[in-house]
């Protein structure tokens, strides 16, 4: 067939590498079969070649989407407020199929993974929690909170969580920690040194904090914890709260202490965190940086 571009040569069968754009990134599809003019390099595709090219493009795009784990699939439903039946109906699949993915009995298929990602992309809160690149960019923007006077790690986390509408399970999954440890740090329930240094560092790195940032925040947390041990809170209402109400109560108490502490002139000379614990934190930071 005569080239429709230069009209000087016939098209010949060829295999080329074709550049495409996926999510703003330039990617290469290798070994694309086509018909190419040897003179002007113009390319045309037959119907079968076009179908094969589309198949390769779709496979490459699937590969650019993070394969959602069972934990994240559960988190998707939780964030969107959907039941298992609701989610299955949205995806036009059986309830048992999605249930097996959530129970980690079988991996989600590439095609369904893309559909769930498309659903996530429609909701900013879901993207903040489940798309790492989106979340990390927003977390870095929240570093401006470090400029606030006497801010503790717990208060910094609260402000960031509220700003980005993060679920605690998001932090648990991403930082490979447990919910109890996270709440101890978040609500300053214990002296900072009681917490496992590796868990503390993983949570700090989730929030894009440097070692120096973490040290200053923990020093403030230690002072807030000391204040909490010196103050008595009297509750006049019933004490049989739900777990959600208890968390809200803990947050309110933390906010009262934070406000009182942030109004102090300075931290004073006392450093309430031992040099030994700080050294362990520094080593954990270095070990994680090296492993990355």
Residues 6+ apart with CB under 8 A from 251: 158, 187
Q: CB-based contacts of 33: which residues, under 8 Å, 6+ apart?
A: 13, 14, 15, 49, 52
Per-residue model confidence (pLDDT) at position 263 = 57
Q: Output the pLDDT for position 265.
A: 46
Give mean pLDDT, residues 133-158: 93
Contact 197, 251 (CB under 8 A): no
Quote the CA–CA distance of 108 and 93 in Å, as a whole number: 12
**In terms of DSSP H, where are the helices of 38-146?**
47-63, 70-80, 84-91, 95-102, 110-121, 124-130, 132-141
Confidence of residue 52 (pLDDT cuts 50, 70, 90): confident
Tell me, what's the pLDDT at 236? 45
Report d(CA 127, CA 80) in Å as an integer. 11
Q: What is the chain's Cα-based Rg? A: 27
Residue 75 sits at the vertex; the CA angle it makes with 190 and 139, to the nearest 5 degrees, is 60
Cβ atoms of residues 63 and 161 within 8 Å: no
Predicted confidence band at 129 (pLDDT cuts at 50, 70, 90)? Answer: very high
Q: Kindly report each contact of residues 80-86 with a partner whose C-beta sits within 8 Å and lies 24 or more positions away, as own/partner.
A: 80/119, 80/123, 80/126
Distance CA 31, CA 8 (A): 26
Average pLDDT on 137-160 reads 93
Distances (CA, A) of 128 to 3, 134, 212, 249: 50, 6, 26, 26
Quick: pLDDT tens for 21-34.
877 778 888 899 99
The pTM for the full model equals 0.71
Residue 215 pLDDT > 70? yes
Q: Which two tokens stand for residue 116?
A: 């769930």
Among 118-127, 158-167, 175-184, 261-270, the range scoring the smallest mean pLDDT is: 261-270
Q: What percent of the chain has pLDDT over 70?
A: 84
Q: Output the average pLDDT for the chain.
A: 86
CA distances from 223 to 106, 180, 215, 281 (A): 48, 21, 13, 18
Closest C-alpha to 8, from 30, 31, 38: 38
- Is the pLDDT reported for residue 241 higher than 80? no
Pairing of strands 43-44, 25-36: antiparallel
Averaged pLDDT, 144-161: 92
Domains and CATH numbers, the chain: 12-63 (3.10.20.860), 70-130 (1.10.260), 135-291 (no CATH)
* Range of weakest confidence among 51-55, 92-96, 102-106, 190-194: 51-55
Quote the pLDDT of residue 111.
Answer: 78
């Amino acid at each position: 067939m005569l080239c429709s571009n230069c009209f000087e040569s016939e098209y010949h069968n060829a295999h080329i590498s074709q550049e495409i754009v996926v999510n703003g990134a330039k990617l290469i599809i290798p070994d694309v079969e086509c018909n190419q003019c040897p003179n002007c390099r113009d390319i045309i595709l037959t119907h079968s070649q076009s179908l094969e090219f589309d198949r390769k493009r779709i496979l490459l795009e699937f590969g650019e989407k993070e394969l959602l784990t069972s934990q994240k699939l559960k988190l998707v439903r939780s964030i969107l407020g959907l039941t298992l039946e609701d989610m299955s109906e949205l995806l036009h699949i059986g309830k048992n199929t999605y249930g097996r993915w959530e129970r980690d009995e079988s991996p989600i298929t590439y095609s369904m993974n893309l559909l769930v990602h498309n659903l996530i992309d429609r909701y900013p809160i879901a993207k903040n929690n489940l798309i790492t690149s989106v979340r990390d960019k927003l977390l870095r923007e929240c570093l401006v909170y470090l400029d606030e006077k006497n801010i503790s790690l717990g208060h910094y986390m609260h402000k960031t969580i509220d700003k980005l509408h993060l679920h605690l399970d998001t932090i648990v999954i991403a930082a490979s920690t447990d919910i109890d440890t996270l709440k101890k740090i978040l609500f300053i329930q214990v002296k900072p040194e009681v917490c496992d240094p590796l868990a503390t560092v993983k949570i700090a790195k989730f929030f894009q904090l440097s070692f120096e940032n973490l040290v200053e925040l923990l020093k403030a947390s230690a002072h807030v914890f000391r204040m909490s041990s010196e103050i008595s809170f009297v509750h006049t209402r019933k004490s049989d709260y739900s777990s959600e109400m208890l968390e809200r109560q803990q947050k309110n108490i933390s906010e009262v202490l934070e406000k009182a502490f942030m109004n102090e002139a300075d931290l004073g000379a006392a450093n309430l965190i031992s040099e030994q614990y700080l050294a362990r934190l520094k080593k954990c930071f270095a070990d994680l940086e090296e492993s990355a």
